[in-house]
A and B are shown apart, each in its own frame.
Chain A
Amino acid sequence: MKFLISLAFKNLTRYKRRTLITAGAIAVGLMMYIFIDSMLMGAEIESVRNLKWFETASARILNDEYWENRFQKPMDLNISSPDKIIKTLDDNGITATKRMVFSGDLILNAEDFGEDGNLAATVTAIDPTRDFDVFNFGTTLVDGRFLEPGEDAVLLGSWFAEDIGAEVGYWITVVTRGNGGFYEAMDLEIVGILNCPNPNVNRQLLMMPISTADEYLAMEGAVTEINVSLPENADVNMEVERIQGMLNGDNLTVMSWEAMAVDYLALAEAKRGGTSMILFLIFIIAAVGISNTMLMAIFERIKELGMMRSLGMSNTKIRLAFMFEAAGIGVIGSVMGVVLGIFADMFIVNIGIDYGFLLRDMDIGYRLQAIFRGVWNPGTMVKAFFMGIIISIVVAYLPTKRALKMDIPSCLRHQ
Chain B
Amino acid sequence: MNTKLIKTALRNISRNKRRSILSGSAIAVAAMSIVALFSLIEGMTDDMAFNLKTYYTGEVRVKHADYDTYERYNPMHLTVDWNSVDKALAKEDMVKSYVPRISFPSNLYIGGSNFGAMGVGADFEKEAGYQDLAGSLKAGRIPENGKNEMMMGAILARDLKLEIGDRVTVMSTTAARGTNAITLEIVGLFAFPVGALNSKYFWVPLDRAQYFLRMDGGVQEVLIKVNDEVTSIAAAPLLKAAVENSAGVEMDIRPWQELSTTYGMLKMAQMIYNFIAMFFFLLGSTVIINTTMMVIFERMREIGTLGALGMHGKELIRLFFLEGTFISMIGSAVGVAIGIGLTLWLSKTGIDYTDAMSGMDFEMSAIVFPKLSVGKTVFVYFYSVIIASAATFIPSRHAAKIEPVEALRYV
Contact = CB atoms under 8 A, between A and B. Distances in A.
- Touch between chains A and B, by CB atoms below 8 Å: yes
A353 B275 contact: yes
Given A285-B287, A364-B265, 13 more contacts: A21-B290, A22-B294, A25-B287, A28-B287, A119-B73, A265-B199, A268-B194, A272-B353, A273-B352, A273-B356, A274-B40, A278-B276, A296-B291
19 contacts: A21-B294, A28-B287, A28-B290, A32-B279, A39-B276, A262-B155, A265-B196, A273-B356, A273-B368, A277-B351, A286-B283, A292-B291, A292-B294, A293-B290, A296-B295, A362-B264, A365-B261, A365-B264, A366-B261
A362 B352 CA distance: 32
Interface of B: 16, 18-19, 22-23, 25-26, 29-30, 33, 36-37, 40, 44, 47, 72-73, 113-116, 155, 159, 194-196, 199, 261, 263-265, 267-268, 271-272, 275-276, 279-280, 282-284, 286-287, 290-291, 293-295, 297-298, 301-302, 351-353, 356-357, 359-360, 364, 366, 368, 411
Nearest to B24: A292
A281 B36 contact: yes
A304 B36 CA distance: 40
Interface of A: 17-18, 21-22, 24-25, 28-29, 32, 35-36, 39-40, 43, 69, 71-72, 117, 119, 199, 258, 261-263, 265, 267-274, 276-278, 281-282, 284-286, 288-289, 292-293, 295-297, 299-300, 303-304, 353, 355, 358-359, 362-366, 368, 372, 415
A296 B275 contact: no
Contacts of B293: 21
Given A285-B280, A289-B26, A355 B268 contact: yes
Nearest to A31: B283
A258 B360 CA distance: 10
Interface majority SS (helix, strand, loop, mixed), chain B = helix
Given A278-B37, A368-B268, A273 B366 contact: yes
B283 A28 contact: yes
Given A353-B275, A364-B265, A289 B280 contact: no
Given A281-B33, A284-B33, A359-B271, A364 B297 contact: no
Contacts of A359: 267-268, 271
B58 to A, nearest CB: 19
Given A39-B276, A285-B29, A362 B353 contact: no
A20 to B, nearest CB: 10
Contact of A258 (B263, B264, B359, B411): B359
Contact of A274 (B44, B196, B263): B44
A368 B30 CA distance: 34
Given A28-B290, A69-B113, A273 B351 contact: yes
A300 B364 CA distance: 54
Contacts of A295: 22
A36 B284 CA distance: 13
Nearest to A263: B199
A415 B300 CA distance: 11
Given A281-B33, A282-B283, A285-B284, A274 B290 contact: no
A140 B38 CA distance: 33
A252 to B, nearest CB: 22
Nearest to A292: B26
Given A281-B280, A284-B33, A289-B290, A274 B264 contact: no
